[in-house]
A and B are shown apart, each in its own frame.
Chain A
């Protein structure tokens, strides 16, 4: 038996004639954490779905614990001790924690479900992982980050020897990330092999032993993490050196466009005040749950406000519904583009036209289809959205192009202020760079850009001014030059009292 517990050799997979994986190899040793890196669409998830038996490979060899596996199914993978924690939460939200953990392998006593035993065992797993959740809590009543921890507990409860984690930290708070890393390290020390997929490269240094990089469905390189540098990893991922990671553009600051005074909306937005000037990108930093998304939603009129003043060009505005904001020239690019940003089952053309039907109004309130086509062509060209046909459904686009489409539908009309909520989440490095350029472009056109991001490097690299939120309040403000990660983090954890600090949520 070789030293590897998982060996994938020359794995290939096509979907409808398009090659998703081409001759990809990957090896995993016992007792190591292997980072599987690549841009979106590089084939990481496909490869892991093949390992987990969800997809079947077209070519190649899979060996697990030295044994060649002909046909991999989810069941077979489970028997072999492979557990995959998927990127999307996959919980039955109506069932309890214990019911989810034991789903598909329920414990029985004389033919009946043994809920007592399952609750006890689930409690053991949870306490072993230091997760403080009662096993008979209904999963849907837990916050997303806790649900993610349950998902992890579920995978670990199978006594898996090979763990695949696909972006496990995206929904977690920093404390939970620390807990998770602790768990990963102890599993590694127990001899498990862990394949770790993440876009958050800065996390890797805490846990990763080796790195395997894919690009465009092809195997690129495997190196020991300590023998490589971040720049090398990134250049391997994108196939080119990125010299200027964050393109900053200097523009003269104009007048104040947007002034927010004492905005209140529930507990998540409390007395928020800031201003935004022409030709300025203001970054909003903070931890998850700091109330940044809620702030943009209240500002945009998507959620009700309890109080506060909003002035646009020094004139007070009443925003009670999104239409008020849009008419005034404030637009929102929401965090969850699939849920809030696009009608994914409508075509790209229809998505671009949707908020602009007032402009495209023809005779008898019909949609002016020529104007619509021109608008779509203009948008696609301006933003270089990569598509084969504007009649495709919006969800056929890649993540980065979807994000551009969300922005693009607003660009077709006049506006003064754009609120970007996590615009680069879950998109690849090249698409991120395009979003940065787009923001810079808006800035040089004299618009105001509010840029929410949880990734400090990009906020530091792009924003002209940074405000930090914590617990629904603004806890700090820095010009770009003087801000550092440490300062931002210090403000972002400035909770109201010690109790909150201890929870770290």
Chain B
């Protein structure tokens, strides 16, 4: 009976139906299990020192994951993330080796990255290019810029003038935790607020769920899509700065493959690649699972090749699980409905 059907889900049930909270909980379970397993295999896993390192490993993956999640929720994809990380790293380092004030260099870098974000948004939303192709293009362009900016060489050390910069993005600590962790946490809070509590966030979900319906409801889908690409660019920019501060120089291939790591973090956390669905809380879970696996497997003595294979399997399985659960849910729901009807 359809009336019961529409009324029946409890408040909790409706919460879980919305946006993909179910997948977040699943991912959280997975994360806890992984932590327990690695903790048993090697007690050092839970040592304060390792937890600090682990969190610092997770931070950049979380940041690019946030950016990719935004774009995925609008129903698109951003392949330029890794190259923008590289571009951010190279542009900021080059400017600093040229003697520019580090914070001015950061501002210039941010503007460069935002230009890529806006370009992505325009190509995809305004000119309706397939996002895969458009961002494949900007990915190559941004990598090219990363290479050309210092005449196809990695930069020299960014020098003592940039110690404040390095301290802020790399070795500084606050309350015992590395600044990197605080930066990603702060950005997560801001972007999570925007996505869940503001009109822009709602429009980003609506655009990904049904672009035409959103447009006809008066949503500026070009603006919401572009905004998502800009968030992605900002996140990539910050990660590039972190990489630069970490190594103390600009490396041209920084951020290689990061766009795909970002997809993995998002997808493991339940963000739908089809748009309209996903929570940044899930991205935290996805990035954490990613980091815990890398770190834990390393502790367990697994070579890089094995780590890659395991993570690849996790990505596929998490999506597979979601598909299976969803079709099972649909089947049960249909049966319930028919039961009530009969």
Contact = CB atoms under 8 A, between A and B. Distances in A.
Interface of A: 54, 74-75, 78, 86, 90-96, 99-100, 103-106, 108, 111-113, 132-134, 136-138, 141-143, 145-146, 154, 266-268, 471-472, 496-497, 499-500, 503, 505
B35 to A, nearest CB: 31
Interface string B114-126: 0000000000000
Main secondary structure of the interface of B (DSSP, over half): helix
A94 to B, nearest CB: 4
Given A111-B198, A134-B7, A137-B14, A90 B334 contact: no
Contacts of B212: 90
B10 to A, nearest CB: 10
Nearest to B16: A138
Given A113-B199, A500-B342, A503-B1, A96 B214 contact: no
B2 interface: yes
A54 B214 CA distance: 13
6 contacts: A95-B276, A100-B213, A108-B199, A471-B342, A497-B342, A500-B1
B342 A95 contact: no
Contacts of B19: 94
Given A91-B213, A95-B209, A146 B1 contact: no
Given A137-B14, A138-B17, A267-B335, A93 B9 contact: no
B341 A471 contact: yes
Given A108-B199, A471-B341, 18 more contacts: A90-B210, A92-B209, A94-B19, A94-B276, A99-B205, A105-B217, A106-B199, A134-B6, A134-B9, A136-B11, A136-B18, A138-B14, A138-B17, A266-B334, A267-B338, A267-B339, A471-B342, A505-B341
A99 B202 contact: yes
Contact of B205 (A54, A92, A141): A92
A104 B218 contact: yes
Contacts of B206: 92, 95, 99, 103
B197 interface: yes
A472 B6 CA distance: 21
Contacts of A90: 210, 212-213, 216-217
B18 A86 contact: no
Interface in B34-74: none
A223 to B, nearest CB: 32
B198 to A, nearest CB: 6
B109 interface: no
Contacts of A75: 218
B3 interface: yes
B2 A143 contact: yes
A497 B340 CA distance: 11
Nearest to A93: B209
A74 B218 contact: yes
A141 B333 contact: yes
A496 B342 contact: yes
Contact of B6 (A100, A108, A132): A132
Given A90-B212, A132-B6, A503-B2, A112 B197 contact: yes
A503 B210 contact: no
B202 A106 contact: yes
A503 B3 CA distance: 7
Nearest to A141: B17
A113 B197 contact: yes
Contacts of B213: 90-92, 100, 103
A145 B1 CA distance: 13
Contacts of B208: 94
B284 to A, nearest CB: 20
Nearest to A497: B342
Contacts of A266: 334-335, 338
Contacts of A136: 11, 14, 18
B154 to A, nearest CB: 44
Nearest to B1: A503
A268 B341 CA distance: 10
A266 B3 CA distance: 21
Interface string B206-246: 10111011111111000000000000000000000000000
Nearest to A136: B14
Nearest to B219: A104
Nearest to A291: B338
B5 interface: yes
B277 interface: yes
B295 to A, nearest CB: 34
A93 B338 CA distance: 22
B1 A92 contact: no
B13 to A, nearest CB: 10
A344 B209 CA distance: 22
Contacts of A99: 202, 205-206
Given A146-B2, A266-B338, A113 B202 contact: yes
Contacts of A74: 215-216, 218
B216 A141 contact: no
Contacts of B215: 74
Contacts of A86: 216
Contact of A137 (B2, B6, B333): B6
A120 to B, nearest CB: 15
A57 B1 CA distance: 45
Interface in B266-297: 276-277
Interface in B307-342: 333-335, 337-339, 341-342
Given A92-B205, A94-B277, A268-B338, A499 B217 contact: no
